[in-house]
Chain A
Amino acid sequence: MSAVEVILDHYHDLVWYLGTREFCSEYQCSSVLLGQLVREMMAQGIFNPRPSRPFLGFNVKEAIQMTLEIKSLDWSRLGSSSSHDCSLHRFLKKYMLNVQAHVNGLNLDDFRR
């Protein structure tokens, strides 16, 4: 499994998670985040059709950058309490940074004759 595949899988797993579970006490929270996630994925062309191997046109750096640039929501304007801080970053940022940390160059000795 390539790093790009790991990242894209995580996005689609998150769609399923937000669509089927309550992770926050507020019903609208999951709904809003699910909507935002789907919109972001559609904008990046990774929602439907779901990209498949060998993921031509995608790279790790941009996929991670895409995650980091997702906007945080202003819950106060959505009628929620001002202290509400749920965001997609909660599910994506740490995971993507972990993926990024595991991307390495290759050891030439592994390929020498």
Chain B
Amino acid sequence: MECEIDHDLDVGGDVLLVLQNPNEPFAVWAAEEDWELSRPKPLQTDKGCDFIFEDPAYRIGGHGTTKPEPEPPEQVEHRRKKRKRSRAGVVDGRSEVRFRLSSRHLILASPYFKAMLTGPWVENSSRTGSTYTAHASDWDEEALTILMDIIHGHSEKVPRSMSLELLAKMAVVVDYYQCHKIVKFYSDTWIGGRLGPDKNNLRPKASRDFVLWLCISYVFAQKDIFYTLTYHAVRKTRGPLRTLGLPFPDGLIGSWSTLGTDPSLLLMLIPSQRRLTT
């Protein structure tokens, strides 16, 4: 008996991707650590630049912005087409979402899937007859669907603009499945739509937004944005930034720079669950 398909990217597709536990809470910003509140005596604060650990919205935890930004119309339409979900991890009463995909498209677009589908059948996958079954977990369903639409050439379904939140979720799945090249045109469009012509003018107003943008700039190879963000971080952070479980390069994590060395890394990031010592 054929199982129900939630997203049929290719009717004749030979890959069944099962997304388990979809829509897990994303990049959760937990309560502040002791040091963030225990500065002996605050130095003079420049009110115009207080985006690191100073936004009151983040002093009591939670991970939203102070005021949710309006979604772009295209994204609203895209969301309208999505199925109803009651809570994270459960879609229409089920705890998994199924995608029918084309192995040829996946192999061409993703080194991750190429290794999975052309090498020895490895972890999280199995083969029944002519159909491969692969498993994933925790991803945002909308982000994964958009990625698969891009990979399968359904450009008419791909939103031309999106919220910062969804953009960050896209960065996570793109990085995981190593689809940077095929997404390049879209990611440039999304980022350009959010920032306008002057990318150097990016000024995240809250710490979590800053970390999301840093991840986005890294995954989508936005050199100017990455430089601008790290410049401000070097000057203004009062301690380790949180990675929130997002993908960051090893060299950036747990590092302190020396002044005048290359790279002049004065920024330290810590994984969300542990603190690295220096």
A residues apposed to B, CB below 8 Å: 1-4, 6, 43-45, 53-63, 65-66, 69, 99, 102-113
Contact = CB atoms under 8 A, between A and B. Distances in A.
Interface residues on B, range: 35 or more
A105 B229 contact: yes
Main secondary structure of the interface of B (DSSP, over half): loop
A56 B238 contact: yes
Interface string B60-97: 00000000000000000000000000000000000000
B203 to A, nearest CB: 14
* 8 tightest A-B CB contacts, nearest first: A45-B40, A105-B231, A105-B227, A57-B39, A111-B249, A56-B35, A62-B43, A106-B230
Interface in B228-270: 228-232, 234-240, 249, 251-252, 256-260, 262-268
Contacts of B128: none
B26 interface: no
Contacts of B223: 107-109
Main secondary structure of the interface of A (DSSP, over half): loop
B226 interface: yes
B39 A66 contact: no
Given A2-B257, A65-B46, A102-B264, A57 B249 contact: no
B266 A60 contact: yes
A92 B91 CA distance: 61
